Amino acid sequence: ETEEQREGEEDEEEEDVPEGLEGAAFQSRLPFDKMTSQEATCFPDVSQGPPQIQKQFLYLRNRMLQLWVENPRQQLTLEHCLSQVDPSQNNDAKLASRVHAFLSRYGLVNFGVYKILKMPPSLKKSPKVIIVGAGISGLTAARQLQSFGIDVTIVEARELVGGRVVTFRKGQYIADLGAMVLTGLGGNPLTVMANQISMELHKIRQKCPLYETHGKSVPKEKDEMVEREFNRLLEATSFLSHQLDFNYMHSKPVSLGHALELVIKMQERQVKEQQIEHAKKILKIQEQLKTNLSQMVQIKEKVKQTHKEYQDALKVKEPRDITSEFSIKSKLRDLNAHCREYDEMAEEQLRIEERLEELEENPPSDVYLSSRDRQILDWHFANLEFANATPLTSLSLKHWDQDDDFEFSGSHMTVRNGYSCLPKALAEGLDIRLNTAVRHVRYNRTGVELVTQSTGKSSITTTQTFKGDAVLITLPLGVLKSHPPSVQFYPPLPEWKTAAIHRMGFGNLNKVVLCFDRVFWDPNTNLFGHVGSTTANRGELFLFWNLYKSPVLIALVAGEAANKLENVSDEIIVGSAIAVLKGIFGSSAVPQPKETEVTRWKSDEWSRGSYSFVAAGSSGNDYDLMASPVAPPSVPGMPSGNPSQPNPPRVFFAGEHTIRNYPATVHGALLSGLREAGRIADQFLGLPYEVNRVGQSPVSQG
């Protein structure tokens, strides 16, 4: 099967995406023919109404989504929707208005960077929201809130927007130092954004040849055999967890890494047991051989004896009497019988010897994995540690892949012109205060107050105070986890929130960017792997990416190595990377790099790592707890108004660590920003999609 054929097949797979109204629902991550639980909650009159009104709702919703997906460069107005719906569907303009308001409020239409056609209605007193962090979630939420007519200020500690989306640019060279891959376009909100701004998407060819330490490439059969074994091991750990419920040991949660090593030990034990079985079989056959031989010796003696007796009987001179004749015949018969028995024994002897020879020539494997197999297996483990940004011993056995069902369809893509084009576009027209780190967040029944500190190059630090009605915290989980805390909350965050922060995992992954004056690798391969020599260093420079038009390679450092190498100088790390490349391509082929860049995400005080993972002891539920807003506690002795109405939330949370189904991704961060903007607007502006109450008009959402 050629590479072209395979790529062709990949393309065919992707063309299998629904079209029309169904395609629009699919692209918006919604079921085409039924209401979601959120829709049922927001439209109880529809979800509990006759099937006809549900059908009408779904048609309106899907048609509006289709109109938006087909032209996301300008605002989708209600007027445009009404002019574009099928009149034969007998549409209710009031329902259409509510559906449009619902889709706009929750960022299913009118999100990202698009031309505003209708300004939001001016509010008597516009609520003021402060957003902490100008990463993708903060920028997305800010744009949404601003489009709803809410006053927004973003404070960002770094000197540029984007957070963990950051692109290295020097002369002709480009390389993404943080987020780098779009994981499929089918259902991905970034697909819409790629149609709004100039994101040059490029499909990643999945072929990834592996090279061993001495530079020889791993033979295809060997590569496939070890990969099959890797997948079998993962399936076995899943069986242990989900079928046998082996998730705790000595009342501690079991990690994926622990379970994998356990299964490997079980396999090694099985190999030893098979060797013992084999030895037992050989022993048994040798016993049979021995028994057979001793029986043959006995029969040989009988033949000798009978032959002598027969010869003696023949010595009786003729004429012999009847007794003598009988004796001769009887001895001859005995002699024949013994000879026949001996021949049978001799045949049996051959058969036993053949069986013995066959067993001795086909011993079971004396090891489960040779040291070379284990090195290649460790490469696959390193790849899994890269995907999760953490050593496998930190991952929850039961929940590490809890978001798998929500993966998008289609090939993985990279942004050829650098991922930072996305935050740059999102930041336009927003009030963003750069070099401004939040130190204190105070919240009470009336609002919030933030104290910030300047982080610029200047030696004098200045503090500032920002006041608002609510704050949206989009700080990376690593910053929320930091000790001592870099941001103080007054009153302190509730225990349910801090416990979730503590349980969840925040990982690390680093990159080494190497810019050359020429290409010395296969330009048609996007990825190639380097198999480490030990389990301990399996993640060190284990994978090289070739993605850009200029001659740039990005080497990845994952697993235990990601943290270890943060304490090593650039010079040594770059030297190691060049040594690896020389081992693969030959010393003379590899020039010295023109430019280099080494990341240290864990040491970066504004991120403290790369992205979240499901740690042993955590689960998908913790992502939901992270997403839940925090309300100020009711003060005892204070008139709190209506006791059945607790204080409304003031502190909201967004970011990749707050979205259960899409964690650790740019699209997850983006969706979390849309979600929180909707939640904040609902609280401060009311619900625009509610059935009109008497004398109260819904907040128009243009």
Domains of the chain by residue range: 20-106, 201-255+371-413+509-598, 271-361
| C-beta neighbour count of 274 within 10 angstroms | 15
Distance CA 81, CA 102 (A): 14
Q: What is the pLDDT of residues 118-164, one digit of tens each?
A: 988 887 889 999 999 999 999 999 999 999 999 999 999 999 999 99
For the whole model, what pTM was predicted?
0.90
From the options 3.40.50.300, 1.20.1250.20, 1.20.210.10, 1.10.287.80, give the CATH code of 271-361.
1.10.287.80
- Percent with pLDDT over 90 in the chain: 86
Q: Can you give the pLDDT at residue 643?
A: 55
Q: State the pLDDT confidence band at 693, using cuts at 50, 70 and 90.
A: very low
For the record, the structure tokens of 183 come out as 């994981």
Residue 150: per-residue pLDDT: 97
Amino acid 659: pLDDT: 99
Give me the pLDDT at residue 312, please.
84
pLDDT reported for residue 91: 75
Count of beta carbons in the 10 Å neighbourhood of residue 63: 21
Residue 700 has pLDDT above 60, yes or no: no
Task: Detail the residues annotated as belonging to a binding site for FAD.
Answer: 129-158, 164, 180-181, 656, 665-666
Averaged pLDDT score across all residues of the chain: 93
pLDDT at 309: 85
Q: Quick: pLDDT tens for 467-515.
A: 999 999 999 999 999 999 999 999 999 999 999 999 999 999 999 999 9
**b/e sequence 443-480, b meaning 16+ C-beta within 10 Å:** beeebbbbbbebbeeeeeeeeeebebbbbbbbbbbbbb
User: What is the mean pLDDT of the segment spanning 360-375?
Assistant: 93
Helix, strand, coil shares, percent, the chain, to 5? 45, 15, 40
Task: Write down the architecture of domain 20-106 according to CATH.
Answer: Orthogonal Bundle (1.10)
522-527 contacts, C-beta under 8 A, 24 or more apart: 524/3, 524/205, 525/205, 525/207, 525/208, 525/209, 526/204, 526/205, 526/207, 527/204, 527/205, 527/206, 527/207, 527/208
| Predicted local confidence at residue 634, as pLDDT | 81
**Residue 558, pLDDT above cutoff 70:** yes
Q: Percent of the chain having pLDDT more than 70? A: 95
* Annotated binding-site members: 129-158, 164, 180-181, 656, 665-666
Q: Which fold has domain 201-255+371-413+509-598?
A: Polyamine Oxidase; Chain A, domain 2 (3.90.660)
When mean pLDDT is compared across 235-244, 271-280, 315-324, 523-532, the lowest value belongs to 315-324
328-361, pLDDT tens digit by residue? 888 889 889 999 999 999 999 999 999 999 999 9
Q: Is the pLDDT of residue 671 over 50?
A: yes
CA distance 84 to 98: 16
- Output the pLDDT for position 221: 96
